[in-house]
A and B are shown apart, each in its own frame.
Chain A
Amino acid sequence: MKNGKQNQSHTVTDLKDTAKQTIQTNRYERKNTNKVWDFFCSVKLAVVIILIMVVACILGTVILQEKTLDEYTAKYGYGLATFFRITQLSNVFHSYWFSFLLVLLCANLICCTIKRWKNTFLQTGFILTHLSLVLILIGGVIKFQLGVKGGVNVYEGKSVNYFLTQLINRQGKMDYIKKDLPFSIALDDFILEKNEPKFQLVSYVKSKDRQKVLDVKLGKKQRVTGSDYRVTIKDYIPDAELHQEPINTSDEPENPAIYVMLMGSDRVAAEGWLLAYDRNYYEDRKQNLRIEYIWLPSREELDKAIVSVGTAQAKLSAAISGQGSFQDYPLELNKVFKIQGTEYTIRMLQYVLNYGDRRPLSEQPPDNPAIQVEVNGPEGPETRWVFEKFPDWDKMHPSKYKNVKLTCNGIASTHMVKNTVRIFHSPDGKQIIAFIKDRRIVETIPWELGKNYTVGDINCQVAITNYFPSFDFKKEVIKKSDEIGIPAILVEVDGPRGKVEDWLFSNNRYATWYPDNNFALVYESTGESIKHFTSKLRIVEDGQTVLEKTIRVNDPLKYKGYVIYQSSYDPEAGSFSGLQIVKDPGIPVVYAGFGALCFGVIFIFYVKPFLRKKPKKETEE
């Protein structure tokens, strides 16, 4: 004790200095003060309260707060959920014990201030900070007792005279309580203002699994850090459109394609290119007809293929990188398959013909077939989508089980239509057209360019009007306007396989890969974001408009103690405005406390040390 007191003179600090005086004061008063008063005045109590509050605050963020009993039971189990409710750990900051702590804190602050009260200028900071905290707490109590906070959605052109507050009731359920307003709020207009869309160029290096945003600056060659790829943006069009003209680049069958016309009774029902190595089929749902173009490398194989109807089976293939080859699994939903020789299992949850299409399966065009698969391994289950046409999707979108490689095939063709026209073609000129009905070959005939063939019993004809052995597109990017529409950039990538140039369109969701399949670029919108949303409100009281104001976030409307904030909007149609309505009579008290607190701390730590400079030096010597 004595030691401590003596050493006090070594400290030069503001609070510490006063401790010395504190002890002396204590000495003077020891005889005629009782223990309770001392207890409430002590700094020890203050520090203990502060530390308990720290623990309470930590608990109040680690344990989910103010949820319904069902949510607690689901998360923590019944036992813990009940425990949290009884100890009020599910609502720490409004619990009885936390309130008690705050009362104790208040008492401590008031007592110590009274005890140390001296009418000296130097004491200003001490008194202000301590009393400001009391003020803030009193303001908090006023808010808790008399304040209300709730929300209401108003539709454009409508008005409301109530709002709803949320409350967890004794049964641990969420209750909505309707509160009436002494006036009504009319929403005359709601305006949602969006930011100009922004676009970014993202690069991805597969071997490093690293994404990076590149500058979109014309003509500047930039190195993708940590790799040997160099990217130059050569052109930019704010609103671009891609025109593709089919051309034949050589007589060698490098990319065979035919132009097929489907003739109805009086007009052309459909026409277009079928590419042997790309989109090689056309489906007509109405006619229940599918046309396929099948290129075979030799006459023998063609002969073999004609007799077999083996329509492709839908299957999922899985492999663990570095462990053997792909294993195939038939498309069977909800059956658990084990990946042989590994600890992984997979289960197919659902499949679609056109990913993202909300229509029922039977109405979806087979444009983007995908299977949703649950992969289960050492780290628990994880679901992902496997796309038939984008086998590299999971590389671009890393998942928990990066080593599990999944691909799928033949989903579209399982939805086989009844009638199939299969156009066979081989390099030595053998060309056969086959008609398959209900998985049986009905007819095979040789075909020639430009002739019409009636196939089976459907009332339309098929004609093959053109053949390109090496089909390609002559790409032409044209500028539609100067406004920002669908921006596109011409990018040159320089890497281990030389320079490659390509247009990237911002509406293309898929990556453009460099020939070595290790580097990809995506030019994408950073997402539409909201700039402002405002509501033109009118306050109506007794049928008369008393106040009009356009509110926005950060700029509310105030009337009769109620403050009306812009808080949200209808995310879909944008037709209603979410308002938050708050009434808090404690605000002036709290703000007075805030002011005093700021002034007080500045005084204690920035003003007082200068006022006392001289005496401080003395103690230091």
Chain B
Amino acid sequence: MSLINITLIIYIITSVAYIAREVWRSTAAKWISLGLFILAFCFNLTWLIVRSIKAGHPPFSNLYESLVFYACCTALVYIVFEFIYNFRIVGALASVLAMLILLYATLQDPSIRPIMPALKSNWMLAHVITYMLGYGAFGISFITSCIFLAVKPFAKNRKRNEGEKGNEILLINFDKLSYKLVAFGFPFLTLGMVTGAVWAKKAWGDYWSWDPKETWSLITWLAYLAYLHTPLILPKMNISKSKASVILAFWLLISFGIVNFTFVGLNYLPSAADSEHIYGSK
């Protein structure tokens, strides 16, 4: 069985373990599920290392490799956050997300192609790594927003429960968690964009040429920038606190859609034929 398939299976087992952990709350369950997640991450990472040795270049020269790398970064961000915050059910969905990304990768052309001259640059390395870490954080924030929106109707009276330290508080805190994840990812996204611009300047002579890929990464950046600034105005408008948090959660869902469109969807644009940066569809 290939390394990718093993990784896929461990991600699935991880997801089951996280659900089980909700049922049997114990320290053991907590460490088993987290351990499984870390194991899946390690397998994912091993694939990347093996691949880069085999191919002789960093493992993100085509869509297939980039997607595997994307899955790996999503897992990494999740694991880092689980060490900091009490995450609970998020892990079940985060591993599913990583698994889906990986599954999508397996549908791509896996052949190793020689790397084109423009891709040989350290700026490219910095660019891709920072971007993927940012995307990973946005992926997890997508999940926390989904959970937030799902449990919101059942946790209407947040105020009353606050004293009881019950489940509700934890669940309702998912909006803050989303914000933290975006705050974690946004600097990476910014660094990714800047290093990308510097790289483009070095390779193509222009740091910004309104190429569709560049434009869409700007759209992504603006979407999260808007998310970060909206909390400053929502209180000033006549919008209740709870409505505001729902709007922000929805905005994160859309933004993550934009992230993925920027990553894999650009081939559907009419202007894709002119782009130098879009992964070829063949």
- A residues adjacent to B (C-beta < 8 A): 1, 3-5, 7-8, 10-16, 18-19, 22-23, 42-44, 46-47, 50-51, 53-54, 57-58, 60-65, 93, 140, 149, 195, 198, 200, 213, 526, 529-533, 552-556, 563, 565, 567, 580, 582, 584, 587, 590-591, 594, 597-598, 601-602, 604-606
Q: Which of A65, A526, A598 contacts B191 (CB 8 A)?
A: A598
Q: Which residues of B contact A51 (CB under 8 A)?
A: 222, 226
Tally of contacts, chain A with chain B, CB under 8 A:
159
B162–chain A nearest beta-carbon distance, Å: 10
- Asked if residues A50 and B222 are in contact (CB atoms below 8 Å), the reply is yes
Q: CA–CA, A3 to B179, complex, Å?
A: 21
Determine whether B23 belongs to the interface, using a CB cutoff of 8 Å to chain A.
Answer: no
Q: Which of B191, B238, B270 contacts A1 (CB 8 A)?
A: B238
The contact sample of 17 A-B pairs, CB cut-off 8 A, is A11-B179, A13-B183, A15-B231, A16-B231, A50-B222, A54-B219, A62-B271, A63-B271, A64-B274, A93-B210, A533-B117, A553-B120, A554-B117, A554-B121, A580-B204, A598-B190, A602-B191
Determine whether B38 belongs to the interface, using a CB cutoff of 8 Å to chain A.
Answer: no
Given known A14-B183, A23-B236, contact A47–B241 (CB-CB < 8 A): no
- Asked if residues A47 and B179 are in contact (CB atoms below 8 Å), the reply is no
A570–chain B nearest beta-carbon distance, Å: 16
Q: Which of A4, A58, A140, A606 contacts B241 (CB 8 A)?
A: A4
- Asked if residues A19 and B223 are in contact (CB atoms below 8 Å), the reply is no
Determine whether B212 belongs to the interface, using a CB cutoff of 8 Å to chain A.
Answer: yes
Q: Per-residue 0/1 for B44-76: is the Cβ within 8 Å of any A Cβ (1 yes, 0 no)?
A: 000000000000000000000000000000000
- B residues adjacent to A (C-beta < 8 A): 109-114, 116-118, 120-121, 176, 179-180, 183-184, 186-187, 190-191, 194, 197-198, 201-208, 210, 212, 215-216, 218-219, 222-223, 225-226, 228-241, 266, 269-271, 274
Q: Which of B120, B203, B269 contacts A62 (CB 8 A)?
A: B269
- Asked if residues B176 and A12 are in contact (CB atoms below 8 Å), the reply is yes
- Asked if residues A195 and B186 are in contact (CB atoms below 8 Å), the reply is no
Q: CA–CA, A63 to B274, complex, Å?
A: 12
Q: Which of B184, B233, B270 contacts A64 (CB 8 A)?
A: B270
- Asked if residues B203 and A15 are in contact (CB atoms below 8 Å), the reply is no
- Asked if residues A594 and B198 are in contact (CB atoms below 8 Å), the reply is yes
Q: CA–CA, A11 to B232, complex, Å?
A: 11
- Asked if residues A605 and B191 are in contact (CB atoms below 8 Å), the reply is no
Q: Which of B190, B208, B219, B271 contacts A597 (CB 8 A)?
A: B190
- Asked if residues A526 and B240 are in contact (CB atoms below 8 Å), the reply is no
B242–chain A nearest beta-carbon distance, Å: 9
Q: CA–CA, A529 to B120, complex, Å?
A: 14
Beyond A54-B226, A61-B269, 16 additional pairs, beta carbon < 8 A: A4-B235, A16-B179, A23-B235, A46-B229, A51-B222, A63-B270, A93-B215, A140-B208, A526-B111, A554-B120, A554-B121, A555-B202, A580-B205, A594-B198, A598-B191, A602-B187
Q: CA–CA, A85 to B218, complex, Å?
A: 24
Q: Which of A22, A64, A601 contacts B232 (CB 8 A)?
A: A22
Q: Which of B194, B233, B270 contacts A594 (CB 8 A)?
A: B194
A438–chain B nearest beta-carbon distance, Å: 50
- Asked if residues A4 and B236 are in contact (CB atoms below 8 Å), the reply is yes
- Asked if residues A65 and B117 are in contact (CB atoms below 8 Å), the reply is no
Complex: chain A residue closest to B121, CB-CB: A554
Q: CA–CA, A417 to B86, complex, Å?
A: 86
Q: CA–CA, A44 to B216, complex, Å?
A: 23
- Asked if residues B229 and A43 are in contact (CB atoms below 8 Å), the reply is yes
Q: CA–CA, A47 to B271, complex, Å?
A: 27
Q: Which residues of B contact A195 (CB under 8 A)?
A: 114
- Asked if residues A532 and B186 are in contact (CB atoms below 8 Å), the reply is no
- Listed from nearest, the 3 A-B pairs whose CB atoms lie closest are A4-B235, A553-B117, A601-B187
Q: Which residues of A contact B180 (CB under 8 A)?
A: 13
B228–chain A nearest beta-carbon distance, Å: 6
**B120, B180, B207, B269 — most chain A CB neighbours (10 Å):** B207
- Asked if residues A565 and B208 are in contact (CB atoms below 8 Å), the reply is no
Given known A15-B228, A47-B226, contact A60–B210 (CB-CB < 8 A): yes
Q: Which residues of B contact A93 (CB under 8 A)?
A: 210, 215
Q: Which of A4, A18, A200, A213 contacts B234 (CB 8 A)?
A: A4
- Asked if residues B230 and A601 are in contact (CB atoms below 8 Å), the reply is no
Q: CA–CA, A530 to B113, complex, Å?
A: 11
Given known A7-B235, A47-B233, contact A554–B118 (CB-CB < 8 A): yes
- Asked if residues A605 and B183 are in contact (CB atoms below 8 Å), the reply is yes
- Asked if residues A57 and B233 are in contact (CB atoms below 8 Å), the reply is no
- Asked if residues B210 and A13 are in contact (CB atoms below 8 Å), the reply is no
Given known A4-B241, A61-B216, A605-B187, contact A552–B194 (CB-CB < 8 A): no
Q: Which of B194, B216, B222, B240 contacts A3 (CB 8 A)?
A: B240
